[in-house]
Structure 1
Amino acid sequence: MYLHIGQNEIVPKQRIIGIFDLDKCSYEKRTREYLSRAEEEGVVLDASGALPRSFVVCDHPYHPQIVYLSQLSPATLQKRAESDTVEL
């Protein structure tokens, strides 16, 4: 199954490592360092189209991990991930 994370971006559910709240996690130094390093490596994709509210870390065949920024709340993404349908 797949998860729609915003702006026509759909990722396979089996590749999702974690869904994180950007507001809550960005206070932590390690999270800021992780996101900064991911951006330097070019593995951050902005699927928000606006102010991002969450980020989704996924396994990727060509990179160790890839980070998607999403305008959807973590709760919305979690509900979508737990359902068996693709909600657009």
Structure 2
Amino acid sequence: MYIHLGDDFVVSTREIVAIFDYKAKTSPIVEEFLNKQKQQIVSSNSTPKSIVVTLQSIYFSPLASGTLKKRAQSKPEIDS
């Protein structure tokens, strides 16, 4: 299944490692992690509300972390 992260970002749920609130960026541990992974960051044109870490990249998403969590946990509807 795929999840839309906002703007033009769509990733496979299998690739997602973590989803957390953008405010966590102020944590020294998160700040250090993001500084070491600068080349992997894909930023949105909108104001970021969450950070999505995947196996390949780190996305700054304009959607709230709770919204992304719900999208990742929802099962797709299949029309018969």
Q: TM-score range by the shorter chain?
A: 0.7 to 0.9
Q: How many residues of Structure 1 are paired with residues of Structure 2 in the alignment?
A: 76
Unaligned runs of 5+ in 2: none
Unaligned runs of 5+ in 1: 61-65
1:19 maps to a residue whose letter is: I
Q: Distance in 1 between matches of 2:50 and 2:58?
A: 10
Runs (4+) of structure 1 exceeding 3 A deviation are none
Q: Distance in 1 between matches of 2:26 and 2:10?
A: 28
TM-score, normalised to structure 1, is: 0.80
Over aligned residue pairs, what C-alpha RMSD do you find?
1.0
Matched ranges for 1:9-20 at <5 A:
9-20=9-20
TM-score, normalised to structure 2, is: 0.88
Q: Deviations over 1:22-45 (max 9, x none)?
A: 11x122101011111211xx1000
Task: Report sequence identity in percent.
Answer: 33
